[in-house]
Amino acid sequence: MKITMPNGDIKEHAQGINGLEIAKSISERLAREAVGIIVNGNRQDLSTPINTDATIKILTFDDEEGKDVFWHSSAHLMAAAIEKLYPGTKFGIGPSIENGFYYDIELPDEQKLGLEELPKIEAKMKELSEEKSDYNRIELSWDEAVEHFKKIGDNYKLELLEGLQGDEISFYKQGDFVDLCRGTHLPNTSMIKYFKLTSVAGAYWRGDSSRNMMTRVYGISFPKKKMLEDYLKMLEEAEKRDHKKLGKELELFMITPAIGAGLPVWLPKGAFIRRKLENFIKEELLKRGYVEVITPHIGNLDLYRTSGHYPYYSDSQYDPIKVEDEEYLLKPMNCPHHHQIYLSKPHSYRDLPLRLAEFGTVYRYEQSGELSGLSRVRGFTQDDAHIYCTQGQLKDEIKSTVELTQLVFKTFGMPVTTRLSFRDEEEGKYAGDMEKWELAQKVLKEVADEINLDYTIALGEASFYGPKIDFIVRDAIGRKWQLGTVQVDYVMPERFGLEYIGADNQKHTPVIIHRAPFGSLERFMSILIEHYAGNFPFWISPVQVSILPISDKQFEYAQKVYSRLTERGFRATIDLRSEKVNRKIAESEQQKIPFALILGQKEEDEGTVSVREHLKGNIGTHLLEELMERFDELNKVVVKE
RNA sequence: GCUGAUGUAGCUCAGAUGGUAGAGCACUUCCUUGGUAAGGAAGAGGUCACCGGUUCAAUCCCGGUCAUCAGCUCCA
């Protein structure tokens, strides 16, 4: 029979040959590293016989799917170790994930599993790995499978089986450990040599917060020692970029329980960067015909009854404030206020689009366990705007907002993914009629296609009043966060009774686009800090130059250099302490200041400055005037294509 | 909100079977005037997160609360 290789080569093999044998026929090394095989598009074990002509691809750890197999088998190995150490443990699910694997478990007799237990489990895994047990696939009927789990009393697996009723059920067994599993698995446990259990956390059974909380043990494994070492090193490096850590070190922001959990305070340097960001986007808005408005931080509760946000989001809003006979809500969003501005006078189609922009601070009562640095907070400022337009203007306006959002990410060189967040079928989750939803989703998708957006579609991620385009970035440790967003809304114009007079002299309802390129300035800042690891580009650095005289003989010259820089608008500090220049340089570098000017007798005599660039080191002696010309260039925002 | 971990000087962290604590850096003063990542000395600095309990005695043991971190659920 004919076996077609990924490169197109066709080889003749005897019927019934398996993946491992094919790998061997290619090279010993491939046979050693193979983890699974794709046969005519289906992934299967290397031990499964192949009986017909087939196109194949042998998987190794280097393939995404290979990693999946490797980590999934690792999860089984970990489960086996836990089973040995804690007999009677019940097992939930144990999949591979983006970086490694986990298994959800429930220890018997209310036992708890803490971090101290992980080394024990690792040791047992090592032992089991060295036993070199084969992963054997076993197929059972559904009834037999149920029988098995009833016997060992694993109600979680029984529940999983309910969803598989009628199917042929496959199990995998390595050593004494048997687990319900679709596969694919490695040939044997000895391939899993280098691993680390990274954390333990609670996880609701089937992701449902009304159900039992199981213990989730996370781990990662590799076929080569160096890979594990590199991975652990990478984690360490990522920790150094943590915005919470850098925020403290660079004095950008603080969060103190004395003010309140999740209520960040911007320190002078952080506030400086934030204003730079705001001014950057403000300029772009003015170019695009937006007008700025300012609205208060609270609003009459009736506004949110009209919009539907209250009580839809009552769980995540602060309690209303009573003022005389009325109730006010700390605003969880800016839209209703902007709608009132729209309503304050009649509109002609000639006025549209009306684009109202505001850096609006909103307050949301996030669950305590959700709070995290600047990424998830209870008070934050959106670079918000609402565009009121006609149906005919909608597409162009969406395009323009998407383009603006993309400009933000390009400017800072941040990798971003784009998601069309559409509705699902869940009852009661969405407002407005289906027709409008379909129209809104259609328009978004058309626009996305017309501008060749590289997107994914996520059902159920829409907001309750409309679908959106979300821009998603990752933080230093790989978590995904939504930053920019563009939303189409047919619901609020109706609820608030927004109108305009068309060319036909009839009343019409406008469409609203809600959009925020940064999303929230707090969250954007968290990502910005981690993206640059605190080494901000010159134009947003709170301090751009430090002036470091070598001895007090140069203090006067240093003051002169300082004045010339600050008079030209550069942000400089001067270090007049009686410290050695090495010390001054070290501190300037730690503060991640883009440039340090070292001034000694030689520079003073020549009227020059010795320049040290952050992360690059000494870049030689320059005339101050020349240097400032370079600084002028660096001060310009450059969009990286 | 839930699970696990953590909370000691401004920062980073030690610490003792229960007898009210230490280092480095930062800070203040003095000495030092030094050429591309930390010169030296002295001083000052703590309700050991908070509240209760056990105890002759609690920072340490127990219970609760708050906060922080990771994960789960949620996220206009």
Nucleic acid strand B: bases within 7 A of protein CB: 1-5, 11-12, 31-39, 66-76
Query: So what's the pLDDT on residue A511?
Result: 97
Question: Based on the number of CB atoms within 10 Å of its own CB, is A427 exposed (0-12), middle (13-18) or buried (19 or more)?
Answer: exposed
| Cα–Cα distance, A398 to A383 (Å, whole number) | 16
Single-letter residue type at A81:
A
Question: For the range A577-580, what are the long-range contacts, defined as Cβ-Cβ under 8 Å and sequence gap of 24 or more?
Answer: A578/A552
Alpha-carbon distances of A428 from A210, A424, A460, rounded to whole Å: 19, 11, 12
Q: Residue A615: which nucleotide is closest by CA–C1'?
A: B37
**pLDDT higher for A257 or A640?**
A257
pLDDT band at A232 (very low <50, low <70, confident <90, very high): very high
Residues 520-539 of chain A within 7 A of strand B, judged by CB, are none
Strand partners, A102: A218
Joined together, the tokens standing for residue A341 give 């501005």
Of A15-19, A280-284, A382-386, the least confident: A15-19
Of A105-114, A135-144, A479-488, the least confident: A105-114
pLDDT more than 70, % of chain A: 100
Q: Which residues of A are catalytic?
A: 335, 364, 382, 384, 386, 468, 514
Provide mean pLDDT across the span A32-48: 94
Question: Could you tell me the sign of the dihedral formed by the alpha carbons of A129, A131, A132, A138, in that order?
Answer: negative
Query: So what's the pLDDT on residue A560?
Result: 96
- When the pLDDT of each residue in chain A is averaged and rounded to a whole number, the result is 95
pLDDT more than 90, % of chain A: 90
Query: So what's the pLDDT on residue A167?
Result: 76
Provide mean pLDDT across the span A39-67: 94
Query: So what's the pLDDT on residue A252?
Result: 97
pLDDT tens-digit readout, A419-468: 999 999 988 899 999 999 999 999 999 999 999 999 999 999 999 999 99
Provide mean pLDDT across the span A262-275: 97
**Residue A258 approaches strand B within 7 Å at CB:** no
Q: What is the pTM of this model?
A: 0.95
Provide mean pLDDT across the span A100-110: 91
Buried b (16+ CB within 10 A) or exposed e, A499-513: bbeeeeeeebebbbb
**Residue A508 approaches strand B within 7 Å at CB:** no
pLDDT tens-digit readout, A573-605: 999 999 999 999 999 999 999 999 999 999 999
Residues 63-92 of chain A within 7 A of strand B, judged by CB, are none
Whether A386 shows a pLDDT value over 90: the answer reads: yes
- ipTM for the complex? 0.95
SS (H, E, C) A65-134: HHHHHHHHHHHHHHHHHHHHHCCCCEECCCCEECCEEEEEEECHHHCCCCHHHHHHHHHHHHHHHHCCCE
Provide mean pLDDT across the span A523-538: 97
pLDDT tens-digit readout, A130-184: 999 999 999 988 988 999 899 888 899 999 998 888 778 899 999 999 999 988 9
Alpha helices (H) along A432-554: 434-450, 491-495, 521-532
pLDDT tens-digit readout, A287-303: 999 999 999 999 999 99
SS3 A18: strand
pLDDT band at A380 (very low <50, low <70, confident <90, very high): very high
SS3 A462: coil
Q: How far is the CA of A541 from the C1' of B9 (A)?
A: 31
Q: Residue A481: which nucleotide is closest by CA–C1'?
A: B75
pLDDT band at A641 (very low <50, low <70, confident <90, very high): low
Whether A639 shows a pLDDT value over 80: the answer reads: no
pLDDT tens-digit readout, A533-563: 999 999 999 999 999 999 999 999 999 999 9
